[in-house]
A and B are shown apart, each in its own frame.
Chain A
Amino acid sequence: MKIFIDPPNSLILFDLVERFGHEPLSVMATIQERVDNLEIDMPPMNVTLTDVKNGLKYAGIEVPSGIRGRLAVWGPLIDQAEAAIIMEDAPYSFGCVGCHRTNLLVDFLVRKRKLPTIEIDYPRTEEDARNMVIRVKEFLEGLK
């Protein structure tokens, strides 16, 4: 199944999803695709004016352009997700999209789709980390 991970650039969540046999919907591939595009218009990420306009599907015109541009990148990932993992309170070094308002909206858009979703807290201890991996594993295996 296609699993949306949040933060959408978390390498750890990406790895867990892949290990347990699902397809992680992460921002890395999406960004890579844009950066590799030979007809790159807007380096470094090739987010163009059209993309920012497309972001209007997820947030209104009064929302700052940086949020709409980000949503143009991962909004479509949320649309195609069949399940999701949301990690709360993750430090920015774990994975982030740079903008807290975008984080809030991404969480909301995932929840709004009422997909099978597991919400986990960022583990602060080794034991919590082990428990987190066990919970994610059970969730992912349950999806099969």
Chain B
Amino acid sequence: MIKIAQLSCGTEYSGVQYEIEKASRAVGAKMVYPDVEASQIDRSIRDFGFNPVSPQLKLMIARAVHLAEGRYDADAVFIATCFRCAEGALVRNELRRYIQEHTDLPVVTYSFTERMKANQLLTRMEALVTIVSRKELLARERQIGITAGIDSGSTTTKAVVMVDNKIVGKAWTGSGEVLESAQTTLNEALAEAGLKMSDLEAIGTTGYGRFTIGKQMNAKLVQEELTTNSKGAVWLADRQRGEATILDIGGMDNKAITVRDGIPDNFTMGGICAGASGRFLEIVSRRLKVEVTELGALADQGDWRKINMNSYCSVFGIQDLVTSLAEGNTRADVAAAACHSVAEQIYEQQLQEIDVRDPVIQVGGTSLISGMVYAVGEILGKAPIVPPDSQFIGAVGGALLSSGFLEG
């Protein structure tokens, strides 16, 4: 069984410890708590160099030092502290860096409230377990045979058909009923490829509807999107070797994943505030009376500096938008400000939880919005790579990884 070492403060008093353990059990893992002798805590704090006042944070540090020194055996690390605790946030981030510098263990960090439920952690836990238990599968760099990938996202459903490491069919549609959307897009992708359902040797599913679709279609691979998206992204960008950061601004949640040789080693997944999601850009498009596909070109003509728009909340963000238009600002400036606002919040909220490694590969549907890519590049100080078919990363990852099962 995969052992995930928990380094945390406040989980048992926030009523979320049970949820953490439930999530780990659901993916076949077990939470473990590195044993530390009381006499070793002060020594660990001195070695680490950060001395927090809260004793539970001291214990977190001592546990991390024991992991780094190989005194305790674990396969992955989960670091969590209370949302809004400054001291906890400092320790959480520094411990994440420390674990990455001193071990090869995959790490995920989380800032929780009392409302956190197991299903919010499932994708993260599943990704941790996959990184540990499916190393061979994740090392796959070429697709073989005839396979399909289906990505059932919160906003759109995408399907890709691949033959011998080439995309031969692809389709997408707005997500409606999960199975129907999946079958429709897969049929379209198969039609484009000139193939039939019975020709498929393997199917891989990902995204919110992955379990339902995977069961119905007898998929060989049912995988969370952190893993499939990173594999799809490095394949599409032809960056399977070396380091990279994958940035996927989704309809409901955003993912930032660092990879080494195409295998994720740290990731953050956020979705607390809609003001920093693709959904916000959709709302903005509707208000500006343009298709979301045209929002990028409109934003390219505008100047975000003319408008103050940086709310974490989509409702307040739209208030800023309405006020800006009422003050006589152009739609282009508003579109640029909306893209900048999303990029800024992702930088502030998510990219601080990983160490961004070059190159940054921007993917997902929002990477087709040129203004969004420009805004990310401006904030990071370097232009991200947007590979062809960047909206199909999850589906490509599904098709690529599922082909790994064809070789037995």
Contacts and interface: CB of A to CB of B under 8 A. Distances in A.
A98 B12 CA distance: 11
A86 interface: no
A52 B15 CA distance: 7
Interface string A43-81: 111011101110000000011111111100100000000
A42 interface: yes
A98 B56 contact: yes
Contacts of B183: none
B18 A65 contact: no
Given A64-B83, A64-B85, A67-B82, A98 B54 contact: yes
A124 to B, nearest CB: 16
Contacts of A51: 15
Interface string B8-39: 01111111111000000000000000000010
A99 interface: yes
A69 to B, nearest CB: 3
Given A52-B114, A93-B38, A66 B13 contact: yes
A41 interface: yes
Contact of A49 (B15, B17, B52): B15
Contact of B82 (A42, A44, A49, A65): A65
Q: Which of B13, B16, B17, B81 has the most CB of A within 10 A?
A: B13
Contact of B12 (A41, A47, A63): A47
Given A42-B17, A42-B18, A66 B87 contact: no
B46 interface: no
A16 interface: no
Contacts, number: 91
Given A98-B54, A98-B55, A100-B54, A68 B114 contact: yes
A45 B13 contact: yes
B10 A43 contact: no
A49 B15 CA distance: 6
A49 B19 CA distance: 11
Contact of B9 (A42, A52, A63, A98): A98
B17 A44 contact: yes
B85 A66 contact: yes
A92 interface: yes
Interface of B: 9-18, 38, 52-56, 58-59, 81-85, 87-88, 112-115
Given A63-B84, A73-B13, A98-B54, 18 more contacts: A42-B16, A42-B17, A45-B12, A45-B17, A47-B14, A48-B15, A49-B114, A52-B15, A64-B88, A65-B82, A66-B88, A67-B10, A69-B12, A69-B114, A70-B13, A92-B58, A96-B55, A98-B9
7 contacts: A47-B13, A64-B83, A65-B15, A65-B16, A65-B114, A100-B52, A100-B87
